[in-house]
Amino acid sequence: MTDQIPLSASTLVQNLREGRLTASALMEATLDRIAAVNPKVNAIVALRDAEDLMAEAATADAARDKGPLHGLPIAVKDLVNVAGIRSTQGSPLLASFVPDQDDLLAARLRAAGAILIGKTNTPEFGLGSHTFNPVYGVTRNPYDPSLSCGGSSGGAAVALATGMTALADGSDMMGSLRNPAGWNNVYGFRPTWGVVPPQPRSEVYLHQLSTPGPMARSPEDIALLLDVISGPDPRRPHGWPIPPLVPLHAPSLRGVRIAWLGDWGGAFPMEEGVLETCEAALRALADLGADVETPSAPFDAEALFQSWSTLRSWQVAVELEALAGQGGTLKDTAIWELERGRALSAFEVHNASVVRSAWLKASLTFFERYDAFVLPTAQVWPFANEIAYPRQIAGQSMDTYHRWMQVMVPASLPGLPALAAPAGFGAQGLPMGLQLVGPRGADARLLGIGAAYHAATQWPDTRPPQLEEEKTHDRAGA
């Protein structure tokens, strides 16, 4: 059954639906792959008992009703509560927590026929774009296990890159699914804010930064998962409906206008080779007929970051407040966010949102000329696992633990949709990605552009070296 592993999620669910593949056979192959690969990368955690999973797969095989993800094994990011599965958020404070009810996203996956096999690893509380925590340890980059896989959806990206799952969910506040997609040579999509409703909590009006989103090895598979997890929820007042995306069609890119913003006019320090790798990837869009231009940055980068940092600390502090009262220790970055958020005045929060509103207005003018703008998915290459976060880029010191991901803020702050796509490999053989960012509501348009780009590049077919070695060994043995 190892021949099923490289198949797309779309092909797998079609084969399952039409009887050319059984859920039991796919589950067996999935568990075999996890057993072979996961000890090297530590991407999937809280894996359920194999006998229980095989029994659930057998039940799926006997079912008459077959949803869009019928029989497909999926591990859910460990920021999402899944009934019966340990849900820790990477924190010792929640190390023994087993919820008895699914969060909204998990419930939608389950209703669509997916078999929820366990969790994908994440940083503690999802803070920081480097996946390590005191509960499960570090998740390793499959292209070089000594290096970071990014985060906070690092476990999800690695599970996809290594063929342990065909689909994965992520979440994105400050690039949490875009950064790991870029560093693991897969796709991640931050939808327009409201397309995928975040889990309804005690307050549902004020905070509009973080959103769930799909990750996969192709835009077509992104569309498959987005159709399942999107759609309004009556408990969330700010939904943004979109029509069904499957089947996703790759349009002609003739006349599509792309703005390459690179380092935002020099505002974002970049490690050597990042911009050059993305510029080479942009040539694929130009070869497909897109008009690629290099305009000036459309807004002040520092104003964006200060607005972002204020609104982020305000939201994160609110989320951490309840946990802080339970005793135990929060990590340093969580304490920093909590103390900063507590100290903010209402007028400081308001003024930060005024800047956010001004950027949204400016982006509307910018998108009158361009269909999308493009930025790298990170300002640095994957760094050593032992480093919590980069302190310096190209000689410039970083004043916060997340300043090195400033390149993500222009999309995140006003809730713009952004597709993280593989951009190829640098001189050291490490992956980098680029993000295509469009106006609110342009989700289908961006995924269509991504589908055309994917058809021309097929970057995820360049598998991690250990998988290439396994494939070579398999062919020799055959």
Percent of the chain with pLDDT over 70: 95
How sure is the predictor about 466, in pLDDT bands with cuts at 50, 70 and 90? Answer: low
Phi and psi at residue 11, to the nearest 5°: -70, -40
Residue 152 a catalytic site member? yes
In this predicted model, what pLDDT tens digit does every residue of 51-72 receive, in sequence order? 999 999 999 999 988 999 999 9
Distances (CA, A) of 402 to 112, 150, 173, 232, 413: 36, 12, 11, 31, 14
Does 469 have pLDDT greater than 60?
Answer: no
Active-site entry in 10, 148, 171, 176: 176
pLDDT at 184: 98
Between 423 and 328, where is the model more confident?
A: 423
From 276, 285, 287, 216, select the one nearest 246 (Cα to Cα): 216
User: Which sign, positive or negative, has the C-alpha torsion 225, 231, 236, 239?
Assistant: positive
How sure is the predictor about 467, in pLDDT bands with cuts at 50, 70 and 90? Answer: low
pLDDT at 30: 97
Does 472 have pLDDT greater than 80?
Answer: no
Phi and psi at residue 170, to the nearest 5°: -135, 180
| Domains of the chain with bracketed CATH | 2-477 (3.90.1300.10)
* The one-letter amino acid at 459: W
Residue 309 a catalytic site member? no
pLDDT at 478: 27
Does 5 have pLDDT greater than 80?
Answer: no
From 77, 84, 60, select the one nearest 12 (Cα to Cα): 60
| The model's pTM | 0.96
Q: What is the mean pLDDT of the chain?
A: 95
> What mean pLDDT comes out for the span 144-169?
98
In this predicted model, what pLDDT tens digit does every residue of 257-292 receive, in sequence order? 999 999 999 999 999 999 999 999 999 999 999 999
> What mean pLDDT comes out for the span 217-227?
98
Active-site entry in 77, 218, 230, 363: 77
pLDDT at 103: 98
How sure is the predictor about 328, in pLDDT bands with cuts at 50, 70 and 90? Answer: low
pLDDT at 476: 32
Cα–Cα dist 164/359, whole Å: 40
Residue 176 a catalytic site member? yes
From 74, 43, 19, select the one nearest 225 (Cα to Cα): 74
How sure is the predictor about 4, in pLDDT bands with cuts at 50, 70 and 90? Answer: low
> What mean pLDDT comes out for the span 35-47?
97
Yes or no: say if 334 and 91 are a contact pair by the CB < 8 Å rule: no
User: Which sign, positive or negative, has the C-alpha torsion 124, 125, 129, 131?
Assistant: positive
pLDDT at 26: 97
> What mean pLDDT comes out for the span 405-426?
98
pLDDT at 323: 82
Does 471 have pLDDT greater than 70?
Answer: no
Does 424 have pLDDT greater than 80?
Answer: yes
Percent of the chain with pLDDT over 90: 92
> What mean pLDDT comes out for the span 12-29?
96
pLDDT at 470: 52
pLDDT at 243: 95
Does 6 have pLDDT greater than 80?
Answer: no
Does 473 have pLDDT greater than 80?
Answer: no
User: Which sign, positive or negative, has the C-alpha torsion 278, 282, 283, 288?
Assistant: positive
Does 327 have pLDDT greater than 70?
Answer: no
pLDDT at 231: 97
Active-site entry in 24, 129, 148, 152: 152
